[in-house]
């Protein structure tokens, strides 16, 4: 606006109108003047001329009135005729004076009027007055002669009238002259009006043409520019306007608009091109590369990388998936987590960050010839559903403009969606492949099923025929079956009664023996007191009787005890109490007990114990000794001469599955009467001896061996017999050392807890010994556990270890935590159930079986009864993969089992199998 003054459209129009209005005002004033002068002229004609004519006529009339009055009087002599005469003679001079004044502007007319006055005065003076005088004086004849003589004079009134006519005619001529002049003026006015109108029109048109021209020209120029732009779509052109008016404003505003549109268009087209570049890609890596290349190209960045999120929640990390002009030393990060570094912060804050003026030591951008430093950085999050799904970073040698930032913001908006859809597509492709494979498998399976069902149908037809034949036979059989049924029912009833009576018998015997012992006890004590004869009140004979009573009572007690033991065994009431037995004392003890018997019968008695027999042995001491005593008593009883020897040795495991510490072999050998081969089985039956004769000869109840056998079974051992008739017998007892006793329900399959528990520590076999020794060694043992590479199927899974042995838990926990599993532990079944109540996302349970408070079986049963946990995989850790253990495990609901000592690779394999679907 500097320089020429601004001359706007409003000013132009205003001035145009002003000129036109001025012209109009001037012309109206001129016309008005003209019209008012014409008005004056006309008024003059109307007033002056009419008055002149009126006065003229008035005077003429007064003259005529005077003549008429004069003549009337003369004729009639009536004075009343003289009245108008006198009147007129008085008035006419007034009128004359008026008229004279009126025509003062016209001297010729005044002269003529003076002539008329003179004539009137003459007529009055010389005609009228004398005639009237004569009449009055009665001089009628004179009057007549007067008139006769004065005929010429009577012509006086005629002359006056003629003079008046002339005066009037002249006056009319003046009036006409004036009217003509007025007409002429009128014509002039008309003409000048037209001329004025024409001039105003001319000026107005000229102004209109100028003003509109100056407006329209510039507008047209603008329109031409806009049309040109819109026709070729080129928004880079600009409108140029020379005028300093609103159009220029319009043009400038339009130019601004164009600039904005141009930058928008650039943004839009760049966005589109970037989007087009990555369209149709199906893998994240390619997508990332294409995207970053595109965006770097448009933002003139020199290097860039895109990081795409993997994982969810806290574990999400951003992995580099695409680079543009990767740094030569590839110092860029491969991944980062949210909040890690500036780029992590960008992801956390979910906003674009631009860093300018990077320090000189910032990472170089490599070119073929060397390296340059970037000047600025741009980091932008890629959003999808309000989450940062990826982050991109660009580095530029220049600076990033607002447009660049907008471009990045624009493209990232849609890119999030694309990343998500590509990820989903990849997932879909993977699932599709899987489902295709499954479909094929299903097809094959259904094929087989169909085929089978067809085959079945064919078979069923044949079966139907066979059935018909069978039906016939079955009708026949039915009759027999009814009979059999009857018999079976009867038999069952009998069997029941038998079982019942047998149980009654055992129970009766057990009760009876007990009842018998109580009184016998007092007999024994009292008889012993008697035999001691401390009061010296008895004779030696009485003393002997008392001793007999005592020894008989003792025999009876032994017998009752035997019966009691046997019946208890049979009734299943006998319990074994496993405890430490000191083997070093056993030989001397036996020698003490049986030495005198050997001496009495003259037999040699030998007790031999091998050096390698451990001192400590775990069994039920009482029953163990009872067995050995029974065997020895038996040997002594049936041996008349020769020797009885007992040999204790360590033996190899007879039944390895019982898991004993070690086994002992105790042989009792005699040189007695021996047992015939065909009686070998028989002698272990209750109340049996070799034959009837033997009974008579040796006495005894025959209960000893059968009790021994039952005890041996209860202790988990075995009793063998080797004998020839007349050659002596050898009873060999094999017995395990069981620190924890036998499993109640599985008397023949004992379970050695201590050993197996320790052995369960999961390590290589060589490591087991170390673990046994100390806790420190466990730490050392862990180093033996092979640390595998990241195992994705275990990562983050929750495993619950249930075991009462802390060393086991410690070792297992360490191994599983190495696999990045989430390990929780419970010490027993109850603790496990409590834990499961608030840990409902456990993926797998490792369950020890032998635990205090609540064992593994019970725990598994309760877990399985719980609906929500019916599917949770449970791996049972059994001491030894014993058949019965396994079956119990499965019955209790274990998914799989694995035997101790655990092999780590095997444990992992099993866990992989069962963790799969979780």
Partner 1 sequence: MNNQVMLSEEELDIGMVEHIEVDLLLEAIYRLSGFDFRKYMKSSIIRRIQNRMRLERIGTITAMQEKIIHEKGFLEKILNDFSINVTEMFRDPSFFRSFRQKVVPELKKLENIRIWHAGCATGEEVYSMAILLKEEGLADKTTIYATDMNENVLQKAKQGTFSLVKMQTYTKNYMQAGGTEAFSEYYTADDHFAYFHPSLLKNISFAQHNLVTDSSFNEFHVIICRNVLIYFTGELQNQVQDLFYESLCTGGFLGLGDKESLRFSEKTTHYLEFDCTEKIYQKR
Both tokens of 652, joined, read: 């190899």
Binding segment for partner 1 (CB under 8 A), chosen from 266-274, 448-456, 478-486, 524-532, is 448-456
Please tell me whether residue 913 binds partner 1 under the rule CB under 8 A.
Answer: yes
Count residues near partner 1 (CB under 8 A): 38
Contact of 256 with 249, CB cutoff 8 Å: no
Please tell me whether residue 468 binds partner 1 under the rule CB under 8 A.
Answer: no
Please tell me whether residue 891 binds partner 1 under the rule CB under 8 A.
Answer: no
Please tell me whether residue 898 binds partner 1 under the rule CB under 8 A.
Answer: yes
Please tell me whether residue 910 binds partner 1 under the rule CB under 8 A.
Answer: yes
Please tell me whether residue 899 binds partner 1 under the rule CB under 8 A.
Answer: yes
CA quadruple 499, 504, 510, 513: dihedral sign:
negative
Among 159, 777, 791, 839, indicate the residue that binds partner 1 (CB under 8 A).
791
Measured from the CB of residue 742, what is the shortest distance to partner 1 in angstroms? 21
Among 367, 436, 445, 754, indicate the residue that binds partner 1 (CB under 8 A).
445
Please tell me whether residue 906 binds partner 1 under the rule CB under 8 A.
Answer: yes
Q: Which helix (H) or strand (E) holds 499?
A: helix 402-532
Please, is 420 exposed, middle or buried when counting C-beta atoms within 10 Å of its C-beta (0-12, 13-18, 19+)? middle
Strands 387-396 and 303-310 turn out to be: antiparallel
Contact of 365 with 397, CB cutoff 8 Å: yes
Contact of 735 with 664, CB cutoff 8 Å: yes
Please tell me whether residue 462 binds partner 1 under the rule CB under 8 A.
Answer: yes
Calpha distance 284→279 (Å, rounded) = 12
Please tell me whether residue 285 binds partner 1 under the rule CB under 8 A.
Answer: no
Q: What is the DSSP letter of 585?
A: G
ω into residue 95 within 30 of 0, thus cis? Answer: no
Please tell me whether residue 204 binds partner 1 under the rule CB under 8 A.
Answer: no
Q: Which residues contact 129 (CB under 8 A, 6 or more apart)?
A: none
Among 890, 893, 901, 918, indicate the residue that binds partner 1 (CB under 8 A).
890
Measured from the CB of residue 793, what is the shortest distance to partner 1 in angstroms? 5
Among 47, 76, 453, 579, indicate the residue that binds partner 1 (CB under 8 A).
453
Nearer to partner 1, 125 or 909 (CB): 909
Nearer to partner 1, 617 or 908 (CB): 908
Dihedral, CA of residue 901, residue 904, residue 907 and residue 912, to nearest 10: 180
Which among 633, 705, 643, 704 is positioned nearest to 670, based on CA atoms? 643
Binding segment for partner 1 (CB under 8 A), chosen from 237-245, 746-754, 803-811, 894-902, is 894-902
Measured from the CB of residue 434, what is the shortest distance to partner 1 in angstroms? 10
Both tokens of 792, joined, read: 């994705």
Which among 881, 913, 915, 916 is positioned nearest to 897, based on CA atoms? 881
Per DSSP, the three-state class of 77 is coil
Nearer to partner 1, 28 or 437 (CB): 437
Please tell me whether residue 854 binds partner 1 under the rule CB under 8 A.
Answer: no
Burial annotation 570-597 (CB, 10 A radius, 16+ → b, else e):
bbeebebebeebebeebeeebeeebeee
Calpha distance 749→740 (Å, rounded) = 12
Measured from the CB of residue 659, what is the shortest distance to partner 1 in angstroms? 16
Binding segment for partner 1 (CB under 8 A), chosen from 336-344, 469-477, 519-527, 880-888, is 880-888
Measured in whole angstroms, the distance separating CA 666 from the mean position of its chain's CA atoms is 75
Calpha distance 799→215 (Å, rounded) = 88
Binding segment for partner 1 (CB under 8 A), chosen from 145-153, 216-224, 457-465, 750-758, is 457-465
Calpha distance 147→139 (Å, rounded) = 12
Q: Which helix (H) or strand (E) holds 730?
A: strand 728-736
Binding segment for partner 1 (CB under 8 A), chosen from 144-152, 326-334, 455-463, 861-869, is 455-463
Which among 382, 379, 374 is positioned nearest to 404, based on CA atoms? 379
Measured from the CB of residue 898, what is the shortest distance to partner 1 in angstroms? 5
Calpha distance 567→620 (Å, rounded) = 19
Nearer to partner 1, 207 or 892 (CB): 892
Contact of 303 with 327, CB cutoff 8 Å: yes
Nearer to partner 1, 269 or 445 (CB): 445
Binding segment for partner 1 (CB under 8 A), chosen from 289-297, 438-446, 490-498, 516-524, is 438-446
Binding segment for partner 1 (CB under 8 A), chosen from 52-60, 71-79, 553-561, 892-900, is 892-900
Binding segment for partner 1 (CB under 8 A), chosen from 175-183, 187-195, 359-367, 878-886, is 878-886
Please tell me whether residue 456 binds partner 1 under the rule CB under 8 A.
Answer: yes
Measured from the CB of residue 709, what is the shortest distance to partner 1 in angstroms? 28
Phi and psi dihedrals of 643, rounded to 5?
Answer: -145, 155
Binding segment for partner 1 (CB under 8 A), chosen from 118-126, 357-365, 738-746, 908-916, is 908-916
Q: Which residues, numbered 174-193, are part of the site for partner 1 (CB under 8 A)?
A: none
Calpha distance 296→246 (Å, rounded) = 43
Nearer to partner 1, 311 or 519 (CB): 311
Among 256, 443, 467, 521, indicate the residue that binds partner 1 (CB under 8 A).
443
Among 331, 792, 837, 841, indicate the residue that binds partner 1 (CB under 8 A).
792
Per DSSP, the three-state class of 824 is strand
Among 372, 444, 477, 500, indicate the residue that binds partner 1 (CB under 8 A).
444
Nearer to partner 1, 94 or 453 (CB): 453
Calpha distance 423→283 (Å, rounded) = 8
In angstroms and rounded to an integer, the radius of gyration of the C-alpha atoms of the chain is 77
Measured from the CB of residue 337, what is the shortest distance to partner 1 in angstroms? 25
Please tell me whether residue 908 binds partner 1 under the rule CB under 8 A.
Answer: yes
Q: At what angle do helices 50-76 and 107-123 cross, to 10 degrees?
A: 10
Among 793, 814, 822, 830, indicate the residue that binds partner 1 (CB under 8 A).
793
Nearer to partner 1, 118 or 891 (CB): 891
Please tell me whether residue 33 binds partner 1 under the rule CB under 8 A.
Answer: no
Contact of 385 with 323, CB cutoff 8 Å: no
Measured from the CB of residue 741, what is the shortest distance to partner 1 in angstroms? 25
Nearer to partner 1, 624 or 914 (CB): 914
Nearer to partner 1, 713 or 886 (CB): 886
Phi and psi dihedrals of 825, rounded to 5?
Answer: -135, 155
Measured from the CB of residue 442, what is the shortest distance to partner 1 in angstroms? 10
Among 452, 502, 584, 604, indicate the residue that binds partner 1 (CB under 8 A).
452
Both tokens of 104, joined, read: 């003062």
Measured from the CB of residue 893, what is the shortest distance to partner 1 in angstroms? 12
Please tell me whether residue 467 binds partner 1 under the rule CB under 8 A.
Answer: no
Nearer to partner 1, 172 or 788 (CB): 788
Phi and psi dihedrals of 680, rounded to 5?
Answer: -55, -45
Q: Which helix (H) or strand (E) holds 646?
A: strand 643-651
Dihedral, CA of residue 737, residue 740, residue 741 and residue 745, to nearest 10: -140
Nearer to partner 1, 444 or 500 (CB): 444
Nearer to partner 1, 668 or 872 (CB): 872
Per DSSP, the three-state class of 287 is helix
Please, is 863 exposed, middle or buried when counting C-beta atoms within 10 Å of its C-beta (0-12, 13-18, 19+)? buried
Nearer to partner 1, 151 or 792 (CB): 792
Strands 387-396 and 376-384 turn out to be: antiparallel
Among 459, 481, 582, 840, indicate the residue that binds partner 1 (CB under 8 A).
459
Measured from the CB of residue 792, what is the shortest distance to partner 1 in angstroms? 6
Chain positions contacting partner 1, by CB under 8 A: 443-445, 447-448, 450-457, 459, 462, 791-793, 881, 883, 886, 890, 895-899, 905-910, 912-914, 916-917
């Amino acid at each position: 606006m500097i320089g020429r003054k601004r001359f706007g459209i409003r000013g132009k129009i205003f001035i145009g109108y002003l000129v036109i209005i001025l012209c109009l005002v001037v012309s109206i004033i001129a016309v008005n003047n003209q019209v008012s002068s014409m008005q004056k002229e006309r008024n003059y004609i109307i007033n002056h001329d009419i008055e002149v004519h009126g006065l003229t006529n008035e005077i003429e009339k007064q003259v005529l009135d005077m003549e008429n009055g004069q003549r009337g009087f003369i004729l009639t002599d009536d004075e009343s005729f003289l009245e108008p005469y006198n009147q007129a003679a008085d008035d006419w001079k007034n009128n004359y004076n008026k008229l004279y004044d009126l025509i003062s502007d016209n001297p010729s007319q005044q002269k003529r009027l003076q002539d008329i006055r003179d004539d009137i005065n003459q007529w009055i003076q010389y005609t009228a007055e004398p005639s009237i005088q004569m009449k009055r004086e009665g001089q009628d004849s004179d009057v007549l002669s007067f008139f006769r003589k004065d005929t010429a004079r009577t012509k006086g009134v005629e002359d006056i009238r003629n003079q008046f006519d002339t005066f009037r005619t002249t006056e009319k001529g003046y009036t006409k002259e004036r009217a003509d002049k007025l007409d002429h003026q009128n014509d002039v006015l008309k003409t000048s009006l037209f001329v004025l109108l024409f001039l105003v029109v001319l000026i107005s048109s000229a102004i209109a043409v100028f003003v509109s021209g100056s407006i329209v020209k510039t507008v047209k120029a603008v329109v031409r520019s806009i049309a040109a732009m819109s026709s070729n779509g080129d928004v880079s052109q600009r409108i140029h306007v020379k005028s300093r008016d609103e159009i220029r404003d319009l043009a400038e505003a339009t130019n601004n608009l164009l600039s904005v549109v141009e930058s928008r268009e650039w943004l839009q087209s760049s966005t589109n091109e970037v989007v087009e570049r990555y369209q149709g890609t199906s893998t994240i890596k390619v997508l990332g590369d294409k995207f970053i290349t595109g965006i770097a190209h448009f933002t003139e960045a020199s290097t860039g990388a895109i990081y795409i999120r993997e994982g969810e929640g806290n574990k999400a990390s951003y992995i580099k998936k695409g680079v543009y002009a990767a740094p030569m030393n590839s110092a860029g990060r491969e991944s980062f987590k949210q909040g890690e570094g500036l780029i992590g912060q960008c992801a956390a804050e979910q906003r674009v960050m631009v860093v300018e003026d990077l320090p000189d030591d910032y990472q170089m951008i490599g070119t073929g010839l060397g390296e340059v430093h970037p000047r600025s950085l741009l980091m932008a999050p890629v959003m999808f559903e309000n989450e940062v799904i990826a982050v991109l970073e660009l580095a530029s040698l220049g600076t990033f403009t607002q447009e660049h930032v907008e471009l990045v913001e624009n493209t990232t908006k849609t890119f999030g969606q694309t990343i998500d859809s590509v990820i989903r597509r990849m997932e879909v492709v993977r699932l599709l492949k899987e489902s295709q494979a499954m479909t094929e498998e299903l097809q094959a399976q259904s094929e087989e099923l169909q085929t089978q069902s067809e085959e079945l149908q064919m078979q069923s037809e044949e079966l139907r025929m066979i059935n018909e034949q069978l039906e016939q036979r079955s009708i026949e059989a039915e009759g027999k079956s009814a009979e059999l049924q009857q018999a079976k029912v009867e038999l069952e009833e009998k069997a029941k009664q038998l079982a019942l009576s047998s149980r009654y018998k055992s129970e009766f015997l057990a009760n009876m023996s007990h009842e018998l012992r109580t009184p016998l006890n007092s007999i024994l004590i009292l008889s012993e007191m008697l035999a001691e004869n401390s009061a010296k009140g008895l004779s030696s004979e009485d003393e002997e009787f008392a001793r007999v009573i005592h020894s008989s009572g003792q025999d009876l007690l032994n017998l009752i005890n035997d019966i009691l033991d046997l019946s208890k065994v049979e009734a299943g009431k006998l319990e074994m109490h496993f405890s430490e037995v000191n083997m070093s004392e056993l030989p001397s003890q036996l020698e003490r007990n049986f030495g005198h018997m050997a001496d009495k019968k003259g037999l040699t008695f030998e007790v031999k114990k091998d050096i390698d027999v451990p001192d400590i042995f775990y069994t039920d001491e009482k029953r163990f000794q009872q067995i050995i005593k029974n065997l020895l008593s038996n040997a002594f009883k049936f041996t008349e001469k020769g020797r009885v020897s007992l040999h204790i040795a360590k033996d190899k495991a007879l039944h390895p599955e019982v898991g004993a510490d070690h086994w002992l072999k105790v042989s009792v050998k005699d040189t007695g009467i021996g047992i015939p081969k065909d009686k070998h089985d028989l002698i272990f039956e209750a109340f049996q001896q070799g034959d009837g004769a033997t009974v008579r000869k040796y006495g005894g109840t025959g209960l000893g061996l059968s009790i021994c056998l039952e005890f041996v079974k209860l202790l988990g051992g075995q009793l063998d017999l080797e004998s020839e008739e007349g050659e002596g017998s050898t009873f060999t007892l094999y017995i395990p050392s069981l620190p924890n006793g036998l499993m109640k329900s599985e008397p023949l399959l004992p379970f050695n807890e201590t050993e197996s528990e320790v052995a369960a520590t999961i390590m290589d076999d060589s490591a087991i010994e170390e673990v046994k020794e100390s806790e420190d060694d466990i730490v050392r043992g862990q180093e033996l556990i092979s640390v595998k590479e990241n195992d994705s199927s275990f990562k983050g899974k929750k495993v619950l270890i249930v075991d009462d042995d802390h060393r086991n838990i410690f070792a297992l926990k360490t191994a599983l935590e190495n696999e990045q599993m989430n390990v929780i532990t419970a010490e027993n079944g109850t603790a496990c159930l409590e834990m499961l109540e608030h840990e409902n996302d456990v993926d797998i349970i490792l369950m020890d079986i032998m635990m205090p408070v609540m064992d593994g079986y019970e725990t598994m049963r309760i877990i399985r009864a719980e609906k929500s946990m019916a599917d949770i995989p449970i791996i049972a850790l059994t001491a030894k993969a014993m058949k019965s253990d396994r079956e119990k495990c499965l019955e209790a609901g274990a998914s799989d089992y694995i035997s101790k000592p655990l092999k780590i690779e095997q444990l992992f394999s099993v866990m992989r199998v069962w963790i799969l679907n979780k």
